Amino acid sequence: MLKKAVFPSKYLQGAGALTELPALCAALGSRAMILASPTAASQVLAKARVDWAAEGIAIEVFQGECCEEELARVAELIKRKKITVLVGMGGGKTIDTAKIAADRARIAVVVVPTIASTDAPTSGCAVLYSKDGIFDKVFYQRSNPDAVLVDTAVIAAAPTRFLVSGMGDALATWFEAQSCVRTTSVNECGGLCTAAGLSIARLCYDTLLSYGDAARIANDQHVVTPALERIVEANILLSGLGFESAGLAAAHAIHNGLTALPETHAFYHGEKVAFGVLAGLQLSDAAPADVDAVYTFCEKVGLPTTLAALGLAKVSPQALAKAAAMACAPEQSIHHEAGTITPEKTLAAMIAADAIGRSRQ
Ligand SMILES: NC(=O)c1ccc[n+]([C@@H]2O[C@H](COP(=O)([O-])OP(=O)(O)OC[C@H]3O[C@@H](n4cnc5c(N)ncnc54)[C@H](O)[C@@H]3O)[C@@H](O)[C@H]2O)c1
Ligand SMILES: [Zn+2]
């Protein structure tokens, strides 16, 4: 198998970066449309120091789910308005919808995350759901986004929980990368991990541990600091490049298993991934010092370290076993871990991770 890595063509980040969007769109095509999440439309676009109409940029509000129905609606708008550049502005679902719609229409796509909650912005894949929010499939685009533009003043203005959730998603990157390297498993772009992918994953982890808490505190005050800038880059760029070009393993598979339990639906992607990291450490016989460092980090920034913190205080043994079984379905990335991974071993790791989390409280 070949080594493989993928990247967006351009990445811009900083306070006030949004004012660059019209020029960025103009460089990519003649007619742009922003697909904005409802909050992005009311909080971000309305308050930006840009006259979108004067710039000739259309605005459309995202209808809430990355599903075929919404994709059909956006496709019709692209066709009718002769759009050549689509901007996805909002959280992971709006971004994923814009990436798929642009890929299908073979037009340029610019991603403008308004929260640093996931590593979706830079990737060349998107997660498709039914209109009722049930996971359908992962859709791979022909290429990664043409540009990713992150206005850190916008991110700092959003609730801190989103930034912390993004740290949970980013926390998985280094551990999953190491697992893929250990077992020469395929990464998320269909190849083997490059040295670049692995180094980026490590930088992501080191940045989280060094600057995560200071960034959380800055976000609580809604101010942009160098620490916040570093964490936004870790959550969006380093985590995104890392997971695609190094690979996924236990943490994301356990996240997928947890989504089978309705009690977890109120929790964000990165919050469930964080618990997946803790359980993954128990599954892979991680060194005690690493386990301690990760729990300490999660406790400091406010990521879940117990099942109760994911709404599962009263989860039945059968329900937890169902989540563990789902995490071990043949197509799941948990099989990138060393050895033979079974639902029984995974359930034991989840129970142990929860008990360790409780014992530290
Ligand atoms: N494609 C990938 O590589 C990838 C990677 C990770 C996650 N994902 C996907 O991302 C999705 C999860 O994304 P998410 O956690 O961002 O959830 P989300 O997209 O549902 O957004 C969460 C909420 O944040 C609101 N919001 C957006 N900007 C805001 C702002 N500035 N202030 C206040 N609120 C704001 C949105 O309106 C929404 O209600 C899932 O569908 C997941 O599958 C994709
Ligand atoms: Zn993720």
pLDDT higher than threshold 90 for residue 293 = yes
* Residue 117 is assigned to a ligand binding site: yes
Residue of 47, 118, 154, 160 best suited for mutating to test ligand 1, as the one with most atoms within 8 Å of CB:
118
* Residue 140 is assigned to a ligand binding site: no
Q: Cβ of 232: how many Cβ atoms within 10 Å?
A: 24
* pLDDT grade for 135, boundaries at 50, 70 and 90: confident
What mean pLDDT, rounded, does the chain reach? Answer: 97
CB of 120 within 6 A of ligand 1: the answer is yes
Q: Is 206 part of the annotated catalytic residue set?
A: no
Catalytic-role residue among 255, 335, 336, 354? 255
Give me the mean pLDDT over the 181-196 stretch: 96
Interval 192-212: pLDDT, tens: 999 999 999 999 999 999 999
CB of 241 within 6 A of ligand 1: the answer is no
Domains of the chain: 11-156 (3.40.50.1970), 159-359 (1.20.1090.10)
* pLDDT grade for 334, boundaries at 50, 70 and 90: very high
C-alpha dihedral (276, 6, 131, 326), degrees to nearest 10: -30
CB of 125 within 6 A of ligand 1: the answer is yes
Q: Is 285 part of the annotated catalytic residue set?
A: no
* pLDDT grade for 285, boundaries at 50, 70 and 90: very high
Q: What are phi and psi of 116, to 5 degrees?
A: -100, 55
* Residue 92 is assigned to a ligand binding site: yes
What ipTM describes this predicted complex? 0.98
> So what's the pLDDT on residue 296?
98
pLDDT higher than threshold 90 for residue 133 = no
* Residue 200 is assigned to a ligand binding site: no
Share of the chain above pLDDT 90, in %: 96
* pLDDT grade for 136, boundaries at 50, 70 and 90: confident
Q: Is 336 part of the annotated catalytic residue set?
A: no
Ligand 1, atom nearest to 165 Cα: 15
pTM more than 0.80 = yes
Q: Which residues contact residue 11 at a Cβ distance below 8 angstroms, ignoring those fewer than 6 apart?
A: 122, 147, 148, 150, 237
pLDDT higher than threshold 90 for residue 49 = no
pLDDT higher than threshold 90 for residue 132 = no
> So what's the pLDDT on residue 221?
98
Q: What are phi and psi of 189, to 5 degrees?
A: -120, 20
pLDDT higher than threshold 90 for residue 37 = yes
CB of 123 within 6 A of ligand 1: the answer is yes
Residue of 35, 151, 162 best suited for mutating to test ligand 1, as the one with most atoms within 8 Å of CB:
162
State the distance from the centre of ligand 2 to the C-alpha of 177, rounded, in angstroms. 13
Q: Is 255 part of the annotated catalytic residue set?
A: yes
Give me the mean pLDDT over the 255-282 stretch: 96
> So what's the pLDDT on residue 134?
78
Three-state SS for the chain is CCECCCCCCCEEEECCHHHHHHHHHHHHCCCEEEEECHHHHHHHHCCCCCCCCCCCEEEEECCCCCCHHHHHHHHHHHHHCCCCEEEEEECHHHHHHHHHHHHHHCCEEEEEECCCCCCCCCCCEEEEECCCCCEEEEEECCCCCCEEEEEHHHHHHCCHHHHHHHHHHHHHHHHHHHHHHHCCCCCCCCCECCHHHHHHHHHHHHHHHHHHHHHHHHHHCCCCCHHHHHHHHHHHHHHHHHHHHHCCCHHHHHHHHHCCCHHHHHCCHHHHHHHHHHHHHHHCCCCHHHHHHHHHHHHHHCCCCCCHHHCCCCCCHHHHHHHHHHHCCCCCHHHHCCCCCCHHHHHHHHHHHHHHHHHCC
